[in-house]
């Protein structure tokens, strides 16, 4: 790990000023930044420690909305009683992520900013070609081992999977990220690679994530996060789905449904085609499976990740049917 200078920001203004310096990077929980610095991927000139700033870790939940401070820890949000009852998919996405130790360190702001786990991205010594790390250098994954790579939202420049769990639940429920001067939909905060794989987030130098806000809804209250992976715990998703469901008073017609996918796309992936196909329909297995198949229309595989195209609709269907059973 290359050395850097260290600055502890006492307040948000200091953090913003310092974050605008060339080569400066914010440090919250450090579970992405220090990891990537050790891999030689992140080479900050200055590390600005924001973890001591007071007041940015509040978790404020009402039936109307949840407002979560950028420095709130993943573990604290996952265990929050109101989050569990009013936004269960958010709690489930968090406690199924990483490990208990990492969740005690990692913050919600840092979580949104985590980078891909593409093994080529993480190994600059052996794989210099990576458009995400070094624009226009090429992509080592295309033509390489692609078992974990994305099938949705890919480009010729990059096929790296967005690895996180929380943001999948956030895009399902129309959450917003507050950057102080501006607010945007979490869905728009994440950028698909296109021709600019190096840009993953709509965030500018000097901007700091302040809070995320999740609007409350009946679908958010009846929601779940299903995560399928190579081992049962402490692993990134092979495919995951955040789903929320609201039924009409007849108990079987779908009034509102939210569906988002993780582990298979280059960004947290809302699938409105599935939602539209199900709204107004009766909830039965056949209808659900047919609609879920729409999630992977246009998917592109690179060999070893072909299985994700079959897996993703099944994970969605499992999540919807599971919610249907919990009347």
Partner 1 sequence: MNDQVTISPTTLSIHLTINGRNHALDIEPRVTLLDALRERLHLTGTKKGCDQGQCGACTVHVDGERVLACLTLAAQVEGREITTIEGLADADGTLNAVQAAFLEQDAFQCGYCTPGQIMSAVACIREGHAGSDEEIREYMAGNLCRCGAYPNIVAAVRQAAQELRS
Ligand X SMILES: Cc1cc2nc3c(=O)[nH]c(=O)nc-3n(C[C@H](O)[C@H](O)[C@H](O)COP(=O)(O)OP(=O)(O)OC[C@H]3O[C@@H](n4cnc5c(N)ncnc54)[C@H](O)[C@@H]3O)c2cc1C
Dihedrals phi, psi of 49, to nearest 5 degrees = -80, 110
CB of 94 to ligand X, least distance (A): 8
Residue 37 or 142: the one with the smaller Cβ distance to partner 1 is 37
CA 32/CA 42 separation, integer angstroms: 9
Residue 127 or 189: the one with the smaller Cβ distance to ligand SF4 is 127
Q: Find, among 59, 58, 94, 67, the residue nearest to 78 by Cα.
A: 94
Within the chain, residue ranges assigned H as helices are: 12-19, 33-39, 74-79, 81-86, 88-95, 100-105, 108-112, 166-172, 186-189, 218-221, 272-278, 285-293, 307-325
Question: Would you count residue 32 as binding ligand SF4 (CB under 6 A)?
Answer: no
How many Cα atoms within 13 Å fall on the side-chain side of residue 4?
Answer: 24
CA 291/CA 226 separation, integer angstroms: 17
Question: Would you count residue 80 as binding ligand X (CB under 6 A)?
Answer: no
CB of 179 to ligand X, least distance (A): 8
Contact partner at residue 253 from ligand X, ligand SF4, partner 1, none, CB < 5 to 8 Å by partner kind: none
CA 210/CA 108 separation, integer angstroms: 10
Which two structure tokens, joined as six digits, stand for 238?
A: 């092979």
- Whether residue 83 contacts residue 90, with contact meaning beta carbons closer than 8 Å, is answered with yes
Contact partner at residue 176 from partner 1, ligand X, ligand SF4, none, CB < 5 to 8 Å by partner kind: none
Crossing angle for the helix pair 307-325 and 285-293, nearest 10 degrees? 150
The number of residues that bind ligand X (CB under 6 A) is 28
What is the rounded (10 degree) CA torsion for 306, 310, 132, 270?
160
Question: Would you count residue 312 as binding ligand X (CB under 6 A)?
Answer: no
CA 68/CA 61 separation, integer angstroms: 8
- Whether residue 165 contacts residue 240, with contact meaning beta carbons closer than 8 Å, is answered with yes
Residue 91 or 116: the one with the smaller Cβ distance to ligand SF4 is 116
Question: Would you count residue 121 as binding ligand SF4 (CB under 6 A)?
Answer: yes
Binding site for partner 1 (CB under 8 A): 1-11, 13-14, 17-18, 21, 27, 30-31, 34-35, 37-38, 46-47, 49, 51-52, 75, 79, 98-102, 104-105, 232-234
Contact partner at residue 236 from ligand X, ligand SF4, partner 1, none, CB < 5 to 8 Å by partner kind: ligand X
CB of 262 to ligand X, least distance (A): 8
Query: For 116, which DSSP code?
Result: P
From 107-115, 119-127, 239-247, 281-289, give the range in contact with ligand X by CB under 6 A: 107-115
Q: Three-class SS of residue 315?
A: helix
CA 238/CA 85 separation, integer angstroms: 27
Q: Show contacts with ligand X in window 149-208 (CB under 6 A).
A: 164-166, 208
Question: Would you count residue 308 as binding ligand SF4 (CB under 6 A)?
Answer: no
CA 321/CA 289 separation, integer angstroms: 9
Q: Show contacts with ligand SF4 in window 153-212 (CB under 6 A).
A: 158-160, 197
CB of 34 to partner 1, least distance (A): 5
Q: Which of 66, 97, 186, 288 binds ligand X (CB under 6 A)?
A: 97
CB of 172 to partner 1, least distance (A): 23
Residue 105 or 197: the one with the smaller Cβ distance to ligand X is 105
Q: Which of 116, 211, 223, 240 binds ligand SF4 (CB under 6 A)?
A: 116
Residues that bind ligand X (CB under 6 A): 25-33, 35, 70, 97-98, 102, 105-107, 109-111, 113-114, 164-166, 208-209, 236
* Residues at the contact surface with ligand SF4, assessed by CB under 6 A: 116, 118, 120-121, 130-132, 139-141, 158-160, 197
């Amino acid at each position: 790990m290359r050395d850097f200078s260290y600055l502890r920001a006492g307040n948000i203004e200091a953090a913003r000023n310092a974050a605008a310096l060339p080569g400066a990077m914010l440090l919250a929980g450090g579970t992405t930044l220090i990891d990537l610095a050790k891999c030689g991927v992140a080479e900050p000139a200055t590390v600005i420690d924001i973890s001591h700033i007071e007041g940015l870790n509040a978790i404020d939940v009402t039936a109307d909305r949840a407002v979560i401070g950028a420095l709130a820890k993943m573990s604290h949000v996952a265990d929050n009683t109101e989050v569990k009852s009013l936004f269960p998919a958010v709690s489930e996405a968090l406690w199924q992520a990483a490990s208990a130790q990492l969740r005690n360190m990692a913050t919600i702001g840092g979580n949104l900013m985590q980078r891909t786990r593409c093994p080529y991205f993480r190994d600059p010594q052996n794989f210099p070609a990576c458009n995400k790390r070094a624009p226009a250098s090429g992509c080592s994954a295309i033509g390489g081992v692609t078992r974990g790579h994305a099938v949705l939202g890919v480009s010729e420049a990059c096929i790296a999977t967005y690895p996180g769990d929380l943001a999948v639940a956030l895009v399902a429920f129309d959450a917003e990220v507050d950057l102080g001067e501006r607010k945007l939909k979490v869905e728009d905060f994440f950028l698909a690679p296109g021709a600019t794989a190096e840009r993953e987030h709509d965030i500018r130098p000097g901007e700091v994530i302040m809070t995320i806000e999740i609007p409350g809804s009946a679908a958010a209250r009846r929601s779940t996060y299903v995560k399928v992976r190579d081992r049962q715990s402490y692993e990134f998703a092979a495919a995951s789905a955040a789903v929320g469901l609201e039924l009409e008073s007849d108990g079987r017609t779908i009034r509102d449904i939210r569906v988002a996918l993780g582990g298979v796309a280059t960004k947290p992936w809302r699938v409105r085609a599935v939602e539209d196909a199900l709204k107004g329909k009766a909830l039965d297995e056949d209808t659900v499976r047919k609609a879920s198949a729409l999630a992977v229309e246009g998917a592109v595989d690179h060999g070893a990740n072909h299985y994700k195209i079959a897996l993703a609709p099944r994970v969605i269907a499992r999540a919807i049917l599971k919610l249907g059973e919990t009347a």
